[in-house]
Every structure is written in structure tokens, then in C-alpha cells.
Chains A and B, each alone.
Chain A
Amino acid sequence: MTSASSNTSKNSPKAAIAGGELRPAVIVGGNRTPFVRSHGKYATASNKDLLTATLDGLVARFGLQGEQIGEVAAGAVIKHSKDFNLTREAVLGTALDPRTPAHEVQIACATGMEAIGGLANKIRLGQLDSAIGGGVDSISDAPLVFSDAARAVLMELNRAKSTKAKLTALSKFRPGHLAPQAPGTGEPRTGMSMGDHQARTTLKWEITREAQDQLALDSHKNLAAAYDRGFFDDLITPFRGVSRDNNLRPDSTLEKLGSLKPAFGKDLGEKATMTAGNSTPLTDGASVVLLGSEEWASERGLPVLAEFVDFETGAVDFVDGDEGLLMAPAYALPRLLERQGMSLQDFDYYEIHEAFAGTVLSTLKAWEDEEFCRTRLGLDAPLGSIDRAKLNVNGSSLAAGHPFAATGGRIVASLAKMLHEKGTGSLGLISVCAAGGQGIVAILRGR
């Protein structure tokens, strides 16, 4: 018998999990499909198709054919029960070594962030040398389910052993049971759509229609400009004949955005400000990010764009309106900043996921608000404002679209590249809100 330590090479330092030093987790690069408005070009692509193709694009980009990756973690918010092992099944369909383990993650729209952050932590602890994290979502491939009443009959039929019992079960079936229930975007505990929830928050923070439309316009202009200068050339692989996010409207104007009727909070009457233009559409797509230790990347001659520094998850009590559904990142941020000894103004880039323009603007206003920061965040002084020229500089979800679980991977890969271009030591902040009153904030440092 040899001791367990004989498994560790004599040259490599002890892993942090075994008492050694923490090491950085670095971002090598990423890949995503173009994001496409639901029920369009990807209508017949399943979550597994999208994720497999996106992983294969990453494999091709970084020459990982036949490579055994430490772990792959990804998830989907809306998925079929048959996809119980979605990520592992996708990995088995790629050119990666089939001995690459995979697991699934789900925390609504922050799924990609959680997948990537969790993997980064494992790398830092020395449990993994390499990892791929990301997410996928397809509203076009959403499962339709039977109503509870119909399901009760079918389950009874399934349990019935005798013909008589089977007939008894079948006799309870009614034509109305055939009507399937489509998944909704409503919060289960309130019955309100996410947009109707945000409409309350937007109103509470007195975010104007004009400010929201301006943010949406900036998102489209920034994304279009990023495409024009080839920023996405090494971040996106075309899929099903699509090479650009098809929600992008480069020629949008404030006049056009201003002409749209409110889509959410309609009961607020004249105070309703949220339209289809300043809210994200339902979108299909997938994204993945390649992470590793510095040694793993340098051994393979792979680039190192940025370091995944830290992340923090938050949740708020939204059910009876104590706080807005999408305000959790506002609460998570001060904990992250304090832990890292940073201030809100320390960052070169801010990536705040544009679930709705109102979400971004409410969050920024909350961080500027003395009373909110004191009473809600327990801070002596407000976190303050940010330089808006550093916000979502290459566009965000309003223009690109938001396939729920794929948004984290889109942001991490893009921000890592931006920070790499900016230079070593540059800092980026990510904020992603999620259904269920949750959210994740994260810090990346450029290499």
C-alpha cells in the first residue's frame, strides 16, 4: 500500500483543498451560438443540439479534440424531463474525450454564472485543472405538460395492474385533459409575470420611459458596433445558418422605441413604461466558457484572457413585495466588494444583464441611493454611481437577446476578452438577476 500522496506528482504543489495555496482560475475563452428570437431559425433545435454544437465550437476553437476536461457544468432553465442528464449527454455527443464528467446546474437566469463560478472555485482549490461552464435555453423546444388532473389519471393507469383497474382509470379521462399546459414565465408564488414584477420596481425607482429607451438604444448601437469591428469573431460560431444575434436592430431610433405601447405593468395606466423594446424578448441559444489553471493553459499554449476572481449569490423576499423580484444583485454586491476590499468605482467595465432596461436602471439608482444603501444594505454611505461609458460597452441582453441559462456564458466570455484587451489588472464587474428573487454578481480581472 502506498499513501494517497503518491498520486500527486512530486513537482506540483499541494492542492488548496489539501492544505496548499489557492491558485487562480483563468478564463481561456468562450463560444456561443448567435442568439435567435424564439420560434424562428432554431425552432427545431433542441437544448441538447444547441449545447452540443456550442461545445464542439469551443473544442474546435481551442483544439480540444479527444481532450479529457476536468468537468463540464451547464444547465437549462426550461427543459424536458427526458433531458435529465442534459450536459453529460451533450458532452457525449462532442469530440471531447467521453471520460469527461459533466453535471447540471440551475438557478434560473443566473445558471451560467453559477456553473462557471462553481467550476472556477474547484480550479482554485486544485480539484480541477480544466473546466467548461455554460448554459443553454430554447423556448422553441419548451416541454408541454399535461394538467395535474390529466396526469393523475395517466399515473393511475400506469399503476393499474388488471384490465378492470385500467378501464376504471381510463374512464376518468376527459377531453379537457388533452389541453397541454405551456410553461409560463410567471413567478409560481405570485402568479405575476417577471415583467409585471419589474414594472413595480421600475415605477418605485421612478425610472422614466426615456431613460429605458435610451439604454435599449445604446445596447443595440453597442452590439452592432462590436459586430462591425469583429469583436465576436472568436466568441461566436454560426449555427443553423445564423451568424448574428437576430434580435439586433442596428438602425433602431429613440423615435421607434418611443412609439411602442407598454407591454408590462399595463394596469399602471399612464405610469406603465416597459415595452417590448426596452425588455428582452424570449430567445434561443447556448454559450460556454473554457476555464483552467494557469499551468493547464500554458502547457497547451492556450491564451489566458482573465482571472475569475470571485462571485456572490443573493436573494430577496419579493413574494409580498418587500423587495423587487429582480433586485437581488443589488444586495449581493456590497458583500462581494467588502470581501475583496473594492469599491463600486474600481471597475473598468460593468456588465449588468439587461433583463429589462428598468432592472439595470433600478439597480444603479439603488446603489446611488443613500437611504436604500443605509436601510437595506446596512452601509454607512451609498455605493455611488458608475461611469456610464463603462456599462455594457459591447451591448447586452436587450440587443443580443437572453436565452436564460446562456446569458452568464455570453457575459463572462465577452468581458474576459474586453479585460484582456484593456490590459493586465483591469477589473470587470458582472451582475445577473434571476427569477425567484435571486441574482449573482462576479468579479473578473484582466490578464
Chain B
Amino acid sequence: MTPLITTYRSAVTQTVRDAVTRRRRPRQLPGHAVVVHGHRISQNQVEDYAQLFGAVDPQDLPSVLVHVAAFPAAMELMAEPDFPLPLMGMVHLENRVQHHLPVPAETDLEIMATATDLAAHPSGTTVDLVVTVHRSADEGSETQLLWEGTSTYLAKGVRLQDAERPPKAAHPDFTPPEVTAQWRLSGSTGREYAAVSGDYNPIHLHPLTAKALGMKGMIAHGMYLAGRMLAGREPVGAGHSWSISFATPVVLPGTVQVSYAHPDAQRTEVTGWNGRSSKPHFTGVLEIPVR
């Protein structure tokens, strides 16, 4: 099979071409799925990830590493000619993951990506990319669902055909909770995570390339923040679920004020914000069932 990283690269070039010509009044999503058979998460990738986020059990990989390995299937779907939204400039709004069972490295995995829920948004159109990871069937066992993740993306300025533009939701006032951690992110954070994830979007790599694409400066990957949020906190044996939604980008280098709160025994609520401007960067939730 084609390595996913190659798919990802061709997806990006495809996107550059399509971004210009693609229809701007989308109606419907591709009905089919992108399926990758027998994908393996390599030991090298595990080690690279561990360099960034700390020790990893190769038999029970972190959720964000599974996302990194599986999400190129969704990229491929988005890069297809009939995909109704332009990939370039899409804004990552939210991620929701159910991590049912441990995902091991060096094991055949079935990855499937579909697109659903094309929806009008005050600033454009959103779409959900759903990626599932199954353990491949072998003699005596059927495929088994290990992990499923939904990523919500916003195509800014793209209007759904025949859809009313929903009113802008009022921004609720953000009052920073009590800080319990600080993440000091260096200027190389984006490049380091790009090397691990294969996501070399220029907005994460250098202040100049980021500014050229309309950003205030180079910004942290959303999934890097998710990886940091979960580092050392995922339960042994999986069975957990988590979500993260992004508010304002984290400009690199920078310090993120972080709060971890535990409203009940199985729920951890995480907030990241800018200490100077008191603007929220992200909010997240980790649910670990009490066994």
C-alpha cells in the first residue's frame, strides 16, 4: 500500500491546485470512504513521539499518536476532486476521540475515513472528518474497533448552497480558572511536532511563512496541544474518551497558562489560555471511566 505520508504529500499538492478552481457553493460530501488496509505504526514513529511527549508503551499508544498515524486517510478524502470544500486555509475547530481499546505499534490496522455533517457556520461551512481504527482480522479473530476520532474543520468564507447563514454566537466572557501548570513552548515546537506528525503546514514552521499565510506569527499545531494535554494522563488499557476545542491560536514561542480541574472522579477539564491577554486558547475534557 502507499505509505500514508506519501498520500499526505500528494494530498497537499492536489489541494494547492484545487484550492483555486474548486466550487465555492458546496452541496454534498463524497459518499464513499477512504480505507487503508494493514497500516502499521512504526517503532520509529513511536520513539519520535516519545521524544516530544515522554515515555510511550508501544502496546498501548497515546491517542494523539494514533490520530497522527490515521488522519492522513482523512486528508486523502479531503484532497479528492469531488470534496466540496477547499483544504487550504481550513481551520481546525474541534476533536473528539473515543479510545476504546489499546492500539499497538507494529500491528496491522484498518483505517477508514469518512466525511459527514456538512453544516453552515457563522464564518463559513464546517465538516466532520470521522476516522476509525480497527485491528485487522487474522485467523480466528474478526476486526475490532480500537479508536474513533472526529475532527471538525471550518472552511472560512465558504457558504453552503441554500443554507441560511447562522448568526454569530456571542463570545462568552472568559474568566481564567486557577492556573495549575505552565507550558513554555519554544520557537521550534511547530517544527518538532511537524517532524513527528508529518504535518508541515507552513503556519507552524516559521514566522515568515506563517505571516505570509495571514497568521499573526507561527502557531502551535492544535494536536500538539492535545498531545500535551493528555501526556501522562491516559489510562492503561484505554477505554477513555476526550475532546478538545480550539479558540485562539498559540503563537510560538509562547507560554500557555493551563488549568487541570477534576469536577468528579472520572472527568478532567483542561483549559489553556494566554496569561497576558486572558484569551482562551483551548478547552478540553478527558473522561476516564472509574473501573
Interface residues of A (CB under 8 A from B): 148-149, 152, 176, 189-192, 196, 200, 267, 319-322
Any chain A CB within 8 A of the CB of B275?
yes
Contacts of A192 on B, CB cut-off 8 Å?
179-182
Any chain A CB within 8 A of the CB of B260?
yes
Residue of A nearest to B268 (CB): A320
Report yes or no: B275 in contact with A267, Cβ–Cβ below 8 A: yes
Residue of B nearest to A265 (CB): B179
A319 to B262, CA, bound (A): 12
A196 with B182: in contact, given A267-B275, A321-B260 (CB under 8 Å)?
yes
Report yes or no: A321 in contact with B180, Cβ–Cβ below 8 A: yes
Any chain A CB within 8 A of the CB of B261?
yes
Task: A192-B179, A192-B180 given; name 20 further pairs at CB < 8 Å.
Answer: A148-B51, A149-B51, A152-B51, A190-B180, A190-B181, A190-B182, A191-B181, A191-B182, A191-B183, A192-B181, A192-B182, A196-B182, A267-B275, A319-B180, A320-B260, A320-B261, A320-B268, A321-B178, A321-B180, A321-B259
Tell me, rounded to whole Å, the shortest Cβ–Cβ distance linking B32 to chain A. Answer: 42
Report yes or no: B182 in contact with A320, Cβ–Cβ below 8 A: no
Contacts of B261 on A, CB cut-off 8 Å?
320-321
Residue of A nearest to B256 (CB): A191
A191 with B275: in contact, given A200-B179, A267-B257, A320-B262 (CB under 8 Å)?
no
A321 to B262, CA, bound (A): 10
A148 to B54, CA, bound (A): 11
Total chain B interface residues with beta-carbon distance under 8 A: 16
A215 to B64, CA, bound (A): 48
Residue of B nearest to A203 (CB): B178
Interface residues of B (CB under 8 A from A): 51, 178-184, 188, 257, 259-262, 268, 275
Among B51, B182, B184: residue with most chain A CB under 10 A: B182
Q: Can you give 8 contacting A-B residue pairs, CB < 8 Å?
A: A152-B51, A192-B181, A192-B182, A196-B182, A319-B180, A320-B260, A320-B261, A321-B260
Contacts of A196 on B, CB cut-off 8 Å?
179, 182
Residue of A nearest to B52 (CB): A148
Tell me, rounded to whole Å, the shortest Cβ–Cβ distance linking B257 to chain A. Answer: 7
A267 to B275, CA, bound (A): 6
Contacts of B181 on A, CB cut-off 8 Å?
189-192
Residue of A nearest to B188 (CB): A176
Tell me, rounded to whole Å, the shortest Cβ–Cβ distance linking B65 to chain A. Answer: 18
Residue of A nearest to B259 (CB): A321
A326 to B93, CA, bound (A): 38
A267 with B179: in contact, given A148-B51, A191-B184 (CB under 8 Å)?
yes
Residue of B nearest to A184 (CB): B184
A192 to B183, CA, bound (A): 8
A305 to B275, CA, bound (A): 52
Contacts of B51 on A, CB cut-off 8 Å?
148-149, 152
Contacts of B184 on A, CB cut-off 8 Å?
191
Which 9 A-B residue pairings sit nearest by Cβ, starting from the closest? A320-B260, A321-B180, A190-B181, A191-B182, A267-B275, A192-B182, A320-B180, A191-B181, A191-B183
A176 to B275, CA, bound (A): 28
Contacts of A189 on B, CB cut-off 8 Å?
181
Tell me, rounded to whole Å, the shortest Cβ–Cβ distance linking A227 to chain B. Answer: 39
Contacts of A152 on B, CB cut-off 8 Å?
51
Contacts of A321 on B, CB cut-off 8 Å?
178, 180, 259-261
Tell me, rounded to whole Å, the shortest Cβ–Cβ distance linking B186 to chain A. Answer: 10
Tell me, rounded to whole Å, the shortest Cβ–Cβ distance linking A155 to chain B. Answer: 13
Tell me, rounded to whole Å, the shortest Cβ–Cβ distance linking A204 to chain B. Answer: 9
A152 to B192, CA, bound (A): 15
A168 to B262, CA, bound (A): 48
Contacts of A200 on B, CB cut-off 8 Å?
178-179
